[in-house]
Amino acid sequence: MAAYFRRPAALAFNSGYDLNLSLMSSLCTGPDLVVLDELVHNSVQMGVRMSRTPRTNVVTFRHNDAGDLERVLREGVEGSQPQRQIFIAIESLYSMDGDIAPLQRILDLAEAYGAAVIVDEAHASCVYGPRGEGIAVADGVQDHPALLCTVHTFGKAFGVHGAVGAMQEWLKDYLVNYGRPFIYSTAPSLHTLTSMGEAVRFVQTEEGDGLRAQVMDRVREFREGLEARGLGSELRDSPSPIQALNTPGNENSLRVASFLRESGFDVRAIRAPTVPDNEERLRVILHSHNSAEEVGDLVDCIATVVG
């Protein structure tokens, strides 16, 4: 696993949730500053709450906004305690809108301010990178000095179960000794570990390469199809298989989603308060097994009910 994710060491967990809980609860201590993207996953936030870091030392920055992150870091180091560590937690690909974090910029800022970055690659693993290693590898930043750990869950595109943290050897040893969710949970079963290994083996094959290319073809067809029907402005900016279409209003979103389900498409409405009022949307997940014809039919149905 370490070799595949191009890191010195790796540690297997039952889930990405357990992994993030272990990381954040054990690494963050009293004087530390914890900086979170405002949309980072709940498991990261809950891990911070389990830690010894007071809430006054936990701050957020505007989603994917490197300029706002720099402001937070600059304010955080002014008059800070000598022993304070700074941890930044982000996702590489966000699950609600499918947008991608500016990893290089965030890592460079972290290095400039002496911070360490934890990157959750749950939705990028298996999809991005030369062989599905994730966006850190795709962007060539896996060896960046500010990158502390990448988190890879196997219950999404890998199609199995479990998770892997890819990290330095010292961090692996630290988590084995201090990561409470890791220590006090039953270890992953042999079946889980074998499935994870086989998933990694498969995605590095020529067939795995083909499936990654195929799902990106479906993304292109979906976006081009809606743009051709005059709905491009309603699409959120996502190059990934997670696509979101603006459908303001809870009732409106439910109406559109219901029509699509009745037409044979499992598309879900994301409603307030999960998202802010008037930012309700449809969340469309494209898969490698979807055909171009299916995507075309979905586009036609969306144009019928939205257009």
Per-residue pLDDT of the chain (307 residues; tens, 9 = 90+): 999 999 999 999 999 999 999 999 999 988 899 999 999 999 999 999 999 999 999 999 999 999 999 999 999 888 666 668 999 999 999 998 999 999 999 999 999 999 999 999 999 999 999 999 999 999 999 999 999 999 999 999 999 999 999 999 999 999 999 999 999 999 999 999 999 999 999 999 999 999 999 999 999 999 999 999 999 999 999 999 999 999 999 999 999 999 999 999 999 999 999 888 999 999 999 999 999 999 999 999 999 999 7
- What pLDDT, on the 0 to 100 scale, is given for residue 141? 98
- What pLDDT, on the 0 to 100 scale, is given for residue 83? 66
Joined tokens for residue 33 = 């500053």
Cis (ω within 30 of 0) for the bond into 8?
no
Joined tokens for residue 91 = 């996702």
Cα separation, 273 vs 230, in Å, equals 28
DSSP output for 12-52: EES-HHHHHHHHHHHH--TT-EEEEETT--HHHHHHHHHSS
Residue with tokens 């979905």: 298
Helix (H), strand (E) at residue 73:
helix 66-77
Identity of the amino acid at 35: V
Q: Residue 11, Cα to own-chain centre: how many angstroms?
A: 18
DSSP 8-class letter at 76 = H
Cα separation, 87 vs 34, in Å, equals 5
Compute the residue count for the chain: 307
Record the pTM: 0.95
Contact 135, 92 (CB under 8 A): yes
